[in-house]
Amino acid sequence: MKAITISGDARDLTLTEMAAPEPGAGEIQLSIRACGLNFADLLMIKGTYQDTPPLPFVLGMEVAGEITALGAGVEGLKVGDRVAVFGGQGGLAEVGCFPADRAVPLPEGMSMVDAAAFQIAYGTSHVALAHRAKLQAGETLCVLGAAGGVGLTAVELGKLMGATVIAVARGADKLEAAKAAGADHLLDATSCDLRAELKALGGIDVLYDPVGGDQWKDAFRAAKPEARLLPIGFASGEVPQVPTNHLLVKNISVLGVYWGGYMAFRPTVITDSLRELLGWYAKGDLKPHVSHVLPLERTEEGLELMRNRASTGKVVIEIG
């Protein structure tokens, strides 16, 4: 099979021919049809992601495909089932083996591309907003990086949950994508005084931040009393420091969100969330935004789109 591997001291990304894996006990083998790219893939290539596998490894965190074989002890699934899986690695390949208990059956009519774009982006935003921040209808949600892979889903879900959504992104094209996802207010991060604009809109109850850096600092200063702040990631490259005296004075909460971490200590948070999300998808309430679909041979091009922030929503690699 063909696969995208990371190997060597230089951590080179290479399209490799290798033997297809066989499923072990409790695993399924997938014919992979699509793999969603994520910012974490860029960190894995550099070796700075918290769950980077040892070298060499096959890149690709989330996949969709058809089951082609079952390992010993697997129940409730069968060959031919269409599923999505968050595997953490192994997705940018024609065949992969993954834990069966992570397989999520796809609703009828859900495309492989949509399925590969779905789990991490929607799952992160839903767990952050519903489980961690407990976002309420009528509250004001500010989404930084609002046109990115997770940012657009936060806009869409926030609106679906009844919040007033302020989208912050760079440039008119990205703000237009956030508007299409349901944002009520649009702020251009390249030109606005973010702190002043957020205060003029009445302040924020919940901050969803995959960016970090100066944007976090500005939004922090526009937080209302009892606001909940969600650090999702640090695409700016700067991990901001939190002045705890301000947390005290304004009764503000900072709530860390690492979606994949729940797999290790409380997986029902993820499975319950995905069940609700896929139900909304089946009803037509959610529509994944995929700006680019590329073949396996153009994976580096897809990663470069994310590095340069040239994509909106998700980039998906279509396989087979």
pLDDT above 90 (res 320)? no
Q: How many residues does the chain have?
A: 320
Question: Which amino acid would we find at residue 13?
Answer: L
Residue 46 predicted with pLDDT over 90: yes
pLDDT average, residue stretch 134-152: 97
Alpha carbons 273 and 203: distance in angstroms, whole number = 28
H or E element that contains 103: strand 103-105
What is the per-residue pLDDT for 149? 94
Express each pLDDT in 85-139 by its tens digit.
999 999 999 999 999 999 999 999 999 999 999 999 999 999 999 999 999 999 9
pTM (2 d.p.): 0.92
What's the confidence (pLDDT) of residue 196? 98
pLDDT tens column, 155-185: 999 999 999 999 999 999 999 999 999 999 9
CA–CA gap between residue 77 and residue 105 (Å, rounded)? 9
The pLDDT tens digits of the residues spanning 66-91 come to: 999 999 999 999 999 999 999 999 99
User: What percentage of the chain exceeds 90 in pLDDT?
Assistant: 98
Give the mean model confidence (pLDDT) for residues 24-50: 96
Alpha-carbon distance 281 to 274, whole Å? 10
Structural domains in the chain? 2-118+288-318 (3.90.180.10), 122-259 (3.90.180.10)
